[in-house]
Structures are given as C-alpha cells and as structure tokens.
Amino acid sequence: MAATQPAKPINMTRVVLTSLAASSIEWYDFFIYGTAAALVFPKLFFAAGLPPAVAQLASFSTFAVGFIARPVGGVVFGHFGDRLGRKRALVTAMLMMGLATTAVGLLPSYASIGVAAPVILILLRFLQGLAVGGQWGGAALLAIENAPVQRRGFFGSFAQMGVPAGVITANLIFLVMGSIVAPAAFAAWAWRIPFLLSILLVGLSLYVQLMLEDTAEFQALQKLEKKAPRTASPILQVIASNPKGILLAAGSFVAANGTFYVMITYAVAYSTTTLHLPKTMILWAVMIGSLVSAPILPLTAALSDRFGRRGVFLAGAALELLWAVPFFLLLNTGQFPLMALALIGGLGFNSVMYGLQAAMMTEMFSTEFRYSGASLGYQIGAIFGGGFAPIISTALFARYHTSLAISGYMAVLCAVSFLSVLVLTETHKRENRQVGRAKAAA
C-alpha cells in the first residue's frame, strides 16, 4: 500500500496545540451563547411582559437552534473536508464561527428593533451551529490522522479538551464582567464584550491556513485518488456503507452531550431562578468542575489506547448514570462546596466518556468518508443529547416540580449511550482504514 507518512516529519506538538486552540475558541464562542441564554437573553431579545418561564423557554429555544444546525454543518463540512481537505474545512468553520459570534455582540435588542432582534439572533445561532458542526471533525482529525496508531486516543483528546477550556473561559469572562460593572450595565452592554472577543478566532484561522499542512492520511488519500478518482459524494457513501456506525456513534454521544448541557446551561438557570442563588456561585462551581475534569480527558483517553475504548467508556457512562441523583441533591443544598462537588463529579464522569470519543468515532469510518461519518454521528447525537436538554429539563421541572425528574432524564441518556457502546466492535487497535476503492487503487 502507498506510504501514509509525508516526506517531512510531523510536528505533533504544533498540531496538538493548534487543535486544542481551535477547539477551545470555537467552543468558547458556542458556550457564551448558552450562558447568555440563561442570564441575559430572556429579557433582552424577547417582548417585555412575557412570564419569566416563557421567556426562559424562548431563550433556550434559540439555544437549541444551534444544535439543529450542527448535523447540517456536519454534512456540509464533512463533504468539503473529505473532498478538499481537513485543513480547508476547519479554517472555513472557524471563520464562520468567529464572524457569527461577533455579530451577536453587535445585535440590537428587542426594545430597539422589535421582532427583528430574535429573528436575527436565531439566524446567527444557526450559523454558529453550522460552524461547530464542521469544526469538531476538523480539529479532531487534525490530531488523530497525524498521530501514531497506538496513541490516537491521547492525541485526539486534546481536541476534546477544547470543551472544558471553552467553558472555563466563557464563565470566567462573564464573572469578570459581572464583577467590574454594575448589574444594570452588564445587562445593557457589558454582556456583549465576550461575544466581540471572538474575533480572535479569525486570526487563528489565518494561522492554520498559512502554517499547517493537511493531515498525513488525507495527503496519502489524495495520492491514491489521482489513480482512481471517486465520483460519489462522501456523505452518500458513508450513509450507504455504514448506517449502523452512524447511528451507534450518535447513540454513544447523547449521554456525554446531554448531561453536559444539563450541568453547564440548565443548572445555571435553575440555580439563579429556582434556587435564587447568585449567578457567581453557580458559575464558579461550573468553572471548578471544568478545571478538575479537564485532566481526566487525556488520562482516560490514554487508558483507552492501552485497554480499549469500550471498557473505559462504559465505566464512565455507568458512573454518570449513578451520579444523576446526587448531582441535584448536592446542587439543591445551595452550599457552594457541595454545589462544586456536584459539578466535579458530574463533569468528571462525563470526561471519562468524552475524552476518548474523538478517537472512537473516527476509527469507526474509512479515511475517504471519515470526516462525513464521524461528524454526522457526533452532531446527530448532539441534537438528541444536548440540543434539547435545557428545554426538556425546564419542562420536566415545570411539570413535576422536582429535580428528580431531571435526574431520571439524565439517567435515560446514560443508558442509551451505555447500550450503544456495548454493541460496538472495539476499535483501538484498528489501523486507520482506506478501504474499498482506495485498496483497489493501491
């Protein structure tokens, strides 16, 4: 078979740091929307006089729009990434995210432009969803397709570390802005600053375009395709050849994604509006949980390189399921140490699943349609996991008036992912595949 390494050596340190930076800033952009949707948007972008619960649901509905757009982004950028390169797709996704998030920071309120404000907000959130739908695959493959086979989980986890990094940065900047300006000023204009800072993502995208090569595997695939060009769309190829893989990938992701957004988005609104606690208390608890859970991502991903993806993931899903009830019991105390413990446990067990997920998902698909397959599975899982988690949690509490209903919802998500991974074939020793027509060409 044709060589899979480029002529010049790969600087894995630079590749991994770039993957981490791209993922961190992209997720920061995505998460500041969730924090603002819990704290600011209900009053700012919706008609005055709406009951608080209705305004909160409307705000979380715009939050969900980003998740609906993510599979679309996975399809569009997956096709682009499988055809023209991982790097080009990643750069385009970063530019789209940076510009859309900056525009949210410039958007006039409902009081200024009326119903046009929530309409434009929804459009910008949709663009954010398209961008993050394409970004994850690019950042993950940038690291994984350049990594040694026996360390794909470890190197792939750095793209996953962008999530806690984004959460920490998003919450920290909201805490800083809330501490240096009065509440009225924060609601009037200071909330916009975190969104305007996302223009930095445009600069990073230019760095990736100018300084990095495409992945070793994609370059090898390009050489093969000079001998046997393909005509079918990558997304149609992967749907036709591996629909089970897409569905299992999606199922494996609903727990990590769904419980995550219950903990970092719904819990913020729940703590401030239901428990009547200061927003700084829950934001600090989320930050501490994210800081403690971040090192778990590469640690458990490295364990999956040695012992297999399935066993490590199943342990994380089981622990998260068992933590669903203690999470809200601790949160309901209103005592900061116990609230921080709730987030440390919840986000820590979540990281056991999430750290290895990039490697596990990409190993399920062949190189020629890997960007499409992995992105589609990931983003479908995101819709049914995190996309509606804040809305479902809000509705469950409104219906049953107890947080135990939300704990049950979290447990169901964990059970779905546990069963999905239970039936998967182990992937950690599988060679990165260029199958079918690529083998014939070789």
Distance CA 270, CA 410 (A): 15
Helix axes of 116-144 and 86-105: crossing angle, nearest 10 degrees: 150
Q: How many CB atoms lie within 10 A of CB 134?
A: 32
- pLDDT of 93 > 80? The answer is yes
- pLDDT of 6 > 70? The answer is no
The residues spanned by each domain of the chain are: 12-441
For 76, half-sphere exposure in the C-beta direction (CA atoms, 13 angstrom radius) is 17
* Alpha-carbon 406 to chain mean position: 21
Which pLDDT score, from 0 to 100, does residue 70 have? 83
Residue labelled with tokens 């791209």: 22
* Alpha-carbon 409 to chain mean position: 20
Distance CA 294, CA 301 (A): 12
With contact defined as beta carbons under 8 Å apart, do 199 and 100 qualify? no
Identify which has the larger pLDDT, 17 or 353.
Answer: 353
- pLDDT of 231 > 70? The answer is no
Q: What is the mean pLDDT of the chain?
A: 85
Tokens of 9: 């050596």
Mean pLDDT, range 191-210, rounded to an integer: 81
Query: pLDDT digit string (tens) for 53-75?
Result: 788 788 878 877 888 888 888 88
Instruction: Indicate the pLDDT class of residue 328, thresholds 50, 70 and 90.
Output: very high
Q: Which of 106, 113, 149, 139 is nearest to 23 (CA)?
A: 139
Which pLDDT score, from 0 to 100, does residue 124 have? 92
Mean pLDDT, range 280-306, rounded to an integer: 92
Sign of CA dihedral 72, 74, 79, 84: positive
With contact defined as beta carbons under 8 Å apart, do 235 and 372 qualify? yes
Distant-in-sequence, close-in-space partners of 183: CB < 8 Å, separation ≥ 6: none
Q: Which of 128, 133, 132, 122 is nearest to 61 (CA)?
A: 122
Tokens of 170: 């998003």
Q: Which of 66, 62, 192, 193 is nearest to 127 (CA)?
A: 66
- pLDDT of 262 > 80? The answer is yes
Decide yes or no: CATH 1.20.210.10 for domain 12-441: no
Return phi, psi of residue 309, to 5°: -75, -40
Distance CA 240, CA 217 (A): 23
- pLDDT of 415 > 80? The answer is yes
Which pLDDT score, from 0 to 100, does residue 54 have? 81
Which pLDDT score, from 0 to 100, does residue 439 have? 42
Percent of the chain with pLDDT over 70: 92
Distant-in-sequence, close-in-space partners of 206: CB < 8 Å, separation ≥ 6: none
